[in-house]
Amino acid sequence: MTPTGFAALEAELKQLKAVERPAIIKAISEAREHGDLSENAEYHSAREKQSFIEGRIKELEGVLGLAEVIDPTKLAGSIKFGAKVTLVDEDTDEEKTWQIVGEHEANIEKGLLNIKSPIARALIGKDEGDSVEVRTPGGEKSYEVLKIEYS
């Protein structure tokens, strides 16, 4: 996991523990005061949300407890975890830039590519100027590696 991804998950965990958990406990308490719990939609909704929050807290604690943080700024050379890679699609000449990150911090819309994805697996070990063939659900894609950065 990158330091940025670790910090983001840590911040989410703090938010859940310090803000979300106390708010949902208060909401459950208020819903209880409304009487009959068997037909109290507010109570059941709050309990469901509480269950989700507690599950997410446990998940984040587990992930953070086992995380190995790798600082990409200390790396160089061919493509490996943490690399920010600029590619050009050899068919459409469209440029794309992705950073290869751990699965818990991956977000394709933000350009964060899961290390376990087909594209990331195909890129590992490649150098600038190399051509990469990737089998995607949409078919075969060919990319050329334009630039590799570790920042």
- Give tens-digit pLDDT for 103-116: 899 998 999 999 99
| Residues 81 and 140 occupy one common structural domain | yes
| Domain end call among 47, 66, 85 | 66
User: What Rg, from alpha-carbon coordinates, does the chain have?
Assistant: 22
| Residues 17 and 45 occupy one common structural domain | yes
Average pLDDT of every residue of the chain: 90
Question: CATH number, domain at 116?
Answer: 3.10.50.30
Question: CATH number, domain at 59?
Answer: 1.10.287.180
Model pLDDT, residue 87: 93
Number of structural domains in the chain: 2
Domain limits at 50? Answer: 3-66
Model pLDDT, residue 43: 87
Q: Is the pLDDT of residue 145 over 90?
A: yes
